[in-house]
Amino acid sequence: MISGGGRCNVTNKIWEPDELVKNYPRGGNELLQPFHSFNSKDTQNWFESEGIRLKTELDGRVFPTTNDSRSIANALIHKADKLDVTVKLGHRATGFSQKANQWDIETSNGNLVTDILVITTGGSPAIWKSLASLGMAIVPPVPSLFTFHCKHELLSDLPGISFPNATAKVGGKPIQQSGPILITHEGLSGPAILKLSAWGARELHELNYNFPITINWLGLKDKQLVAAIKLEQETNPKKHVINKPVLDIPKRFWQRACELSGITVNRNYAEIGKKQIHKLIDLMLKFNIQVTGKSTNKDEFVTSGGVELSEINFTDFSVKRFSNVYLAGEVLNIDAVTGGFNFQAAWTGGYMIGSSIKV
Ligand SMILES: Cc1cc2nc3c(=O)[nH]c(=O)nc-3n(C[C@H](O)[C@H](O)[C@H](O)COP(=O)(O)OP(=O)(O)OC[C@H]3O[C@@H](n4cnc5c(N)ncnc54)[C@H](O)[C@@H]3O)c2cc1C
């Protein structure tokens, strides 16, 4: 219900398996074949066949046209009702044990016996512990999809300003992402930062969320910014630099960058020299800042870690060591960047299991 800021970003418009897998820092290789059986196009067809109208936003995210997660939740509940699925509320699973060919599920409300055990408990530490006691390897969980805390006079009092084509790179690591970056009260957010947090989830955890990053706010090369400034110097030499940003740079950000570059209020374009231009380039294209912590991204977050993927047979998501146990969703060491891809992994696993078990 709280997914996608209450709107449920149910999947993404990217459906070609080769492209879809590029959005999974963990699990991409393993999901390639399953995505040939059930991908985001199938998800959309499935919900639409259940009467849920969907829409695709400009950035590729797919939502119900109602902008309300209840539409998606209700479709699943109605389908389960129609298929006579029994839902036992108040039965928290606390352990699993094998009895001959069956499984005994210990719950907070008595034991249940089953021929086939499908576990889709998401990021539950207690369940990972139970699965570890059955011999399964578990990759220790760490958070993914978070925003960065950082402070600098270039950013202070400028929350809400965003740059559509920025690039961010973690200092000393091959972790780099491009896309929109948003200045927030606490530091930085936006798709490029969230992608960085997903691809770097494990390494950034090891660094205790304390690391340097370099930001190119405009995604440009030095010579492109220099050329834009030179053009202003030629065409508008008498204009005050502070009042006339180049390249549609947000005015308040440009003014702050000018101040920090020593370009005073009355300085016009004809009066700025190499030193100030270099300082502007450093702030706009090679801005170094220390990240000192993180915050949860409220619209979507996920756990990196879970059951080691080598434990799973991805033709049907069964567990290799127990043929009648299946796992799907976040319980596995699969996670994606933001955009509906995390749900897609869960839908695909669910479909593969549902269509392969015989009851
Ligand atoms: C705030 C937020 C917003 C998100 N928004 C999006 C989004 O818009 N798009 C997207 O793609 N992804 C989104 N995600 C990620 C997405 O929700 C998960 O990746 C996805 O729900 C995983 O599905 P799952 O079925 O594996 O686990 P879950 O959806 O977590 O479901 C696990 C279920 O198992 C139950 N359970 C757990 N332990 C036990 C137990 N011991 N016994 C019995 N039952 C148990 C839980 O109560 C729960 O109902 C969001 C995540 C968060 C936290």
Q: pLDDT band at 300, cuts 50/70/90?
A: confident
Specify whether the CB–CB gap between 308 and 138 falls below 8 A.
yes
Q: pLDDT band at 358, cuts 50/70/90?
A: confident
Q: Is the pTM for the entire model greater than 0.75? A: yes
**How is residue 181 written in tokens?**
């970056």
pLDDT digits (tens, 9 = 90+) for 315-329: 999 999 998 999 999
Residues in the chain, overall count: 359
Residue of 215, 198, 228, 162 whose CA lies nearest to 294: 198
Q: Tell whether ligand 1 has an atom less than 6 A from the beta carbon of residue 343.
A: yes
Question: For residues 6-31, b (16+ Cβ closer than 10 Å) or e, as one string?
Answer: ebbbbbbbbbebeebbebbbbbbebb
Residue with tokens 């749900």: 343
Mean pLDDT in residue range 217-241: 94
Residue of 278, 337, 252, 272 whose CA lies nearest to 302: 337
Residue with tokens 């309300």: 68
pLDDT digits (tens, 9 = 90+) for 42-90: 999 999 999 999 999 999 999 999 999 999 999 999 999 999 999 999 9
Q: Which residue ranges form the domains of the chain, and what is each CATH number? A: 3-142+300-356 (3.50.50.60), 147-296 (no CATH)
Q: What pLDDT score was predicted for residue 15? A: 97
pLDDT digits (tens, 9 = 90+) for 136-174: 999 999 999 999 999 999 999 899 999 999 999 999 899
Specify whether the CB–CB gap between 119 and 95 falls below 8 A.
no
Strand pairing report for 162-170 and 176-183: antiparallel
Q: What pLDDT score was predicted for residue 297? A: 86
pLDDT at 299 exceeding the cut of 90: no
Q: Tell whether ligand 1 has an atom less than 6 A from the beta carbon of residue 4.
A: yes
Q: Tell whether ligand 1 has an atom less than 6 A from the beta carbon of residue 30.
A: no
pLDDT over 70 percentage in the chain: 100
Residue of 251, 248, 246 whose CA lies nearest to 233: 246
Q: Tell whether ligand 1 has an atom less than 6 A from the beta carbon of residue 270.
A: no
**271 or 72, greater pLDDT:** 72
pLDDT at 14 exceeding the cut of 90: yes
User: Which amino acid appears at position 13 of this protein?
Assistant: K
Please tell me the distance between residue 44's alpha carbon and the centre of ligand 1 in angstroms.
19
Query: Other C-beta atoms within 10 Å of 312: how many?
Result: 23
Kindly provide the residue ranges of all beta strands, DSSP E only, lying in the chain, ordered along the sequence: 11-12, 54-56, 61-64, 93-99, 102-107, 110-114, 117-119, 138-144, 146-149, 162-170, 176-183, 187-189, 211-216, 287-291, 293-296, 302-307, 312-313, 318-319, 322-327
Please tell me the distance between residue 170's alpha carbon and the centre of ligand 1 in angstroms.
29
Q: What pLDDT score was predicted for residue 180? A: 95
Q: What pLDDT score was predicted for residue 118? A: 97
Please tell me the distance between residue 62's alpha carbon and the centre of ligand 1 in angstroms.
18
Q: What pLDDT score was predicted for residue 11? A: 98
Query: Other C-beta atoms within 10 Å of 254: how many?
Result: 22
User: Which amino acid appears at position 83 of this protein?
Assistant: L
Q: Tell whether ligand 1 has an atom less than 6 A from the beta carbon of residue 141.
A: no
Atom index in ligand 1 nearest the CA of residue 342 equals 11
Q: What pLDDT score was predicted for residue 301? A: 84
Please tell me the distance between residue 237's alpha carbon and the centre of ligand 1 in angstroms.
58
Q: What pLDDT score was predicted for residue 121? A: 97
Atom index in ligand 1 nearest the CA of residue 7 equals 8
**How is residue 170 written in tokens?**
């973690």
Q: What is the spatial distance between Cα 24 and Cα 46, in angstroms, rounded to a whole number?
A: 22
Q: What is the dihedral of CA 277, 281, 284, 289, to 10 degrees?
A: -120
Please tell me the distance between residue 122's alpha carbon and the centre of ligand 1 in angstroms.
5
Per DSSP, the chain holds a count of helices (H) and strands (E) of 11, 19
Residue nearest to atom 29 of ligand 1 (CA): 122
pLDDT digits (tens, 9 = 90+) for 23-39: 999 999 999 999 999 99
Q: What pLDDT score was predicted for residue 323? A: 86
From 301, 342, 348, give the residue whose CB has the most ligand 1 atoms within 8 Å, as the site to mutate.
342
Q: Tell whether ligand 1 has an atom less than 6 A from the beta carbon of residue 121.
A: yes
Please name the residues in contact with 268: beta carbons below 8 A apart, sequence gap of 6 or more: 237, 238, 239, 240, 241
Q: pLDDT band at 240, cuts 50/70/90?
A: very high
